[in-house]
Amino acid sequence: MRPENLKTKIFLDGGDPIETKEAIKLLGFLDGQTTNPTLISKNPSAQERIRKGIKFSKKEVIEFYQDVVKQISELIPKGSVSIEVYSDTSTTAEAMVSEAKEMFSWIPNAHIKIPITKEGLKAAERAVSDSIRLNMTLCFSEEQAAAVYSATKGALKGDIFISPFVGRLDDRGINGMDLISNILKMYQQGDGHVEVLSASIRNIDHFLCSIWVGADIITAPFKILKEWAEIGFKIPEPSYLYGTKGLGTIPFERIDIDQKWQQYNIYHELTNKGLEFFAKDWNALIE
């Protein structure tokens, strides 16, 4: 069951409802789940179909995604399920909003994942006016987080998540946990309507440090949740020390979060690479 002193919400990062059931049984609770095109492409049913040489039509792959998230939603009806719009570097805000509206209608507990790009922020602004809950994804900088805060003003607390990707920054030799800490600190000057979701969790240290710094939410693959269970659902003490393993630091920037989102420098190479990665996995399913 949930540890009494655990304030951070725990999500499973995955695209297989069977794994969702296993996570609930393992933890005794689950606050939500995040999905994306790559995770859906790794779903055992999708993989079996591809192994047989049978690809999906565009209509079929959307129906498959819808069926998967419906199954997950039924398992965690009081939690959140993140569903990601298809987007690459050329996808327009209009296309994202249209798909977001459709996906938001699939289940009652959806958060729609939209990338932190110029078009994505345009889409987010419009989606908020339509009361669509969002998970702004592929975050790699404080300025991107400031832009998300600005673009989603007026949303209720709990309706907007932002997902900084810890592991992908670590891959570049930079301490991704610094970004989580910096965004949390920056948001202290705001109204609290954006919740920080620690994503791209690669190891138990990422998981524990995310709890320690006060992330609102952590999404982690099943293997990390299992490792956490094996160490007795450990909650880090105040004296906890995170081993940075020689990673470079990300200094805190003092950014005014009350500017218009268009004033921030939101470009980040890793955001574009992430879009390419997800689009490639999604397109590999389609005939």
pLDDT of the residue at 1: 82
Give CA–CA dist 123/110, Å, rounded.
16
Task: Please state which of the four CATH numbers 3.30.450.20, 3.40.50.720, 3.20.20.70, 3.30.390.50 is assigned to the domain occupying 9-283.
Answer: 3.20.20.70
Distance in angstroms (rounded) separating the CA atoms of residues 26 and 276: 34
Collect all residues with Cβ–Cβ distance below 8 Å to 242 and sequence separation of at least 6.
177, 205, 208, 209, 212
113 carries an active-site annotation: yes
Strand pairing of 134-139 and 217-220?
Answer: unpaired
For position 201, what pLDDT does the model report? 98
Q: Active-site residue among 25, 101, 113, 153?
A: 113
Per 3-state DSSP, the chain is made up of helix, strand and coil in percentages (nearest 5) of: 45, 15, 40
pLDDT of residue 73: 98
Q: Give me the pLDDT at residue 120, please.
A: 98
CA distances (Å), origin 238, targets 44, 140, 214, 227, 242: 41, 26, 11, 21, 11
**Between the CA of residue 82 and those of 208, 217, 228, what are the distances in Å?**
22, 13, 22
With a cut of 50, list the residues of the chain below it in pLDDT. none
